[in-house]
């Protein structure tokens, strides 16, 4: 294992802005990819849109499960880099790639085999169910590529290479849009494949992005990962990854299963409600971007700071990040609320969907700041190693409050989708406030993953320190 060029890697200090803007653009492109799919499919039929929306409930669930290894790796690598322990950072990176490859293959097989059982959970028409099954067969069968993509991207970001991960996303989106145009609409004499076409374009774009990500990993990391590193299952490293990853996965699993339950409740309201939810969520996703980007950027910074034992710096960083992210989220939510009906009408000319969707975007003025609050604080707690408390609160709030409240307000009281959105507001704000007081207690200072007693692998005097290019 040699340090690239046998010299000191750049040690320019990380800044929130330098980390966050590429993450924001990358997340924007991911969101745009989903919205582009929805927009293009809306010209096929509303049933096709509803089918992909329901199928993506399972796809998103599996992708977030893959995040349990990626999240644990991002936190662990950030803390190692903050402590200038680059051999440990390299070993943790290699282990995480292998773990998610194995997990990804198992999940791909499970999605393909049990896709019909999943779809039977919903009250779907035969046409919608048929479309959704086609989509899951292709996208689900290749979902292991996304498992690796998530892992590689988290490693790059932890090392400070957020811009490089962003460029890969740009290329992936271009391939996806071109593939959609060719295969959905049958340009240049190709068959019009509809939902199958969008699934193929998604699978191909992810495969190309995966190859590019591997190239960056070997080009940019301070120490190259050898083939034997992928087979070195260091139990201590795995335990540290899982110490963060498993609770994070649990939290995401709780969220997604609760969303599946709520989607089933929405299906009771009707097919139009399902379609409206898909359109509203696509627009709301862009409001969420700022909170997600600030949360991930803050997580990297706090991981480095706690690895270096700068607890006061970590504490104050969260407070600064939280203030900025909430202000930006409110401003974006106001803009969306002003143009709400125009935005919904991009996807459909159904006046009922436009009217109901517009009311949901108005409610998002309250919902989105709460969600941003929640995201930034939870990411910060996770960056320190304090990952178990958030998952406990997620279970209590989502399944104990959000799901039953959605049914009560939406079905029993007849408020429909507005009732469901109110339950989201209660859930997000409750958890966000509780997480904030957890941060203020500074209990997280006792949860750090990287031992202060460990010997650094490289000496500063030799100039062999890990650094980041920001």
**Mean pLDDT, the chain, as a whole number?**
85
| pLDDT reading at 308 higher than 70 | yes
What's the token pair of residue 296?
Answer: 């991930």
pLDDT digits (tens, 9 = 90+) for 44-85: 777 888 888 788 877 877 777 787 788 889 999 999 988 888
| pLDDT reading at 32 higher than 50 | yes
pLDDT score of 35:
67
Query: Nearest-CA neighbor of 202 among 173, 182, 171?
Result: 173
Alpha-carbon dihedral sign for residues 134, 251, 159, 101: negative
pLDDT digits (tens, 9 = 90+) for 336-385: 999 998 889 888 888 889 999 999 999 999 999 999 999 999 999 999 99
Please give the angle made by the CA atoms of 170, 174 and 176, to the nearest 5 degrees.
Answer: 115
Where are the chain's structural domains?
A: 17-445
| pLDDT reading at 8 higher than 50 | no
Min mean pLDDT across 24-33, 208-217, 356-365 is at 24-33
pLDDT score of 235:
87
| pTM: predicted TM-score of the whole model, two decimal places | 0.77
**377, 439 in Cβ contact below 8 A?**
yes
| pLDDT reading at 442 higher than 90 | yes
Alpha-carbon dihedral sign for residues 120, 123, 129, 131: negative
Task: Show Cβ contacts of residue 359 under 8 Å, excluding neighbours closer than 6 positions.
Answer: 417, 418
Contacts 24+ apart (CB under 8 A), 313-320: 314/380, 314/383, 314/384, 315/439, 315/442, 317/16, 317/380, 318/376, 318/377, 318/380, 318/439, 320/16
Min mean pLDDT across 89-98, 181-190, 265-274, 324-333 is at 181-190
């Amino acid at each position: 294992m040699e340090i690239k060029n046998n010299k000191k890697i750049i040690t320019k200090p990380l800044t929130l802005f330098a980390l966050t803007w590429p993450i924001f653009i990358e997340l924007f492109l991911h969101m745009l990819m989903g919205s582009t799919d929805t927009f293009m499919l809306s010209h096929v039929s509303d049933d096709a849109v509803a089918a992909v929306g329901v199928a993506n409930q399972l796809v998103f669930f599996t992708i977030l499960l893959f995040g349990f290894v990626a999240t644990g790796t991002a936190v662990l690598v950030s803390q190692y880099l903050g402590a200038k322990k680059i051999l440990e950072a390299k070993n943790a990176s290699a282990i995480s790639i292998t773990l998610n490859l194995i997990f990804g293959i198992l999940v791909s097989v499970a999605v393909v085999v049990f896709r019909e059982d999943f779809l039977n959970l919903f009250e779907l028409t035969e046409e919608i169910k048929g479309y959704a099954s086609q989509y899951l067969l292709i996208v689900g069968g290749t979902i292991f590529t996304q498992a690796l993509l998530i892992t590689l991207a988290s490693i790059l970001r932890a090392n400070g290479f957020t811009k490089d991960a962003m460029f890969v996303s740009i290329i992936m989106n271009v391939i996806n849009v071109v593939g959609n145009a060719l295969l959905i609409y049958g340009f240049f004499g190709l068959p019009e494949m509809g939902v199958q076409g969008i699934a193929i374009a998604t699978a191909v774009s992810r495969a190309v992005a995966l190859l590019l990500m591997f190239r960056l990993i070997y080009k940019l990391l301070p120490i190259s990962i050898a083939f034997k590193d992928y087979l070195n299952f260091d139990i201590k490293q795995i335990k540290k990854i899982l110490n963060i990853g498993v609770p994070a996965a649990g939290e995401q699993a709780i969220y997604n299963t609760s969303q599946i339950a709520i989607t089933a409740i929405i299906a009771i309201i009707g097919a139009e409600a399902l379609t409206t939810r898909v359109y509203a969520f696509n627009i709301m996703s862009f409001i969420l971007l700022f909170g997600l980007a600030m949360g991930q950027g803050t997580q990297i910074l706090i991981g480095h700071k706690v690895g270096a034992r700068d607890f006061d710096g970590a504490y104050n960083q969260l407070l600064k990040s939280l203030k900025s992210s909430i202000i930006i989220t409110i401003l974006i939510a106001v803009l969306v609320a002003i143009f709400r009906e125009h935005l919904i009408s991009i996807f459909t000319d159904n006046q009922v969907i436009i009217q109901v969707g517009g009311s949901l975007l108005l409610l998002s003025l309250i919902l989105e700041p709460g969600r941003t609050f929640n995201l930034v604080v939870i990411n910060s707690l996770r960056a320190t190693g304090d990952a178990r408390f958030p998952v406990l609160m997620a279970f209590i709030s989502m399944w104990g409050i959000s799901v039953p409240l959605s049914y009560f307000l939406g079905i029993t009281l007849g408020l429909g989708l507005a009732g469901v959105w109110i339950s989201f507001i209660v859930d997000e704000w409750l958890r966000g406030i509780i997480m904030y007081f957890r941060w203020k207690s500074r209990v997280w200072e006792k949860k750090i993953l990287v031992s202060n007693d460990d010997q650094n692998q490289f000496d500063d005097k030799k100039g062999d320190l890990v650094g980041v290019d920001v």
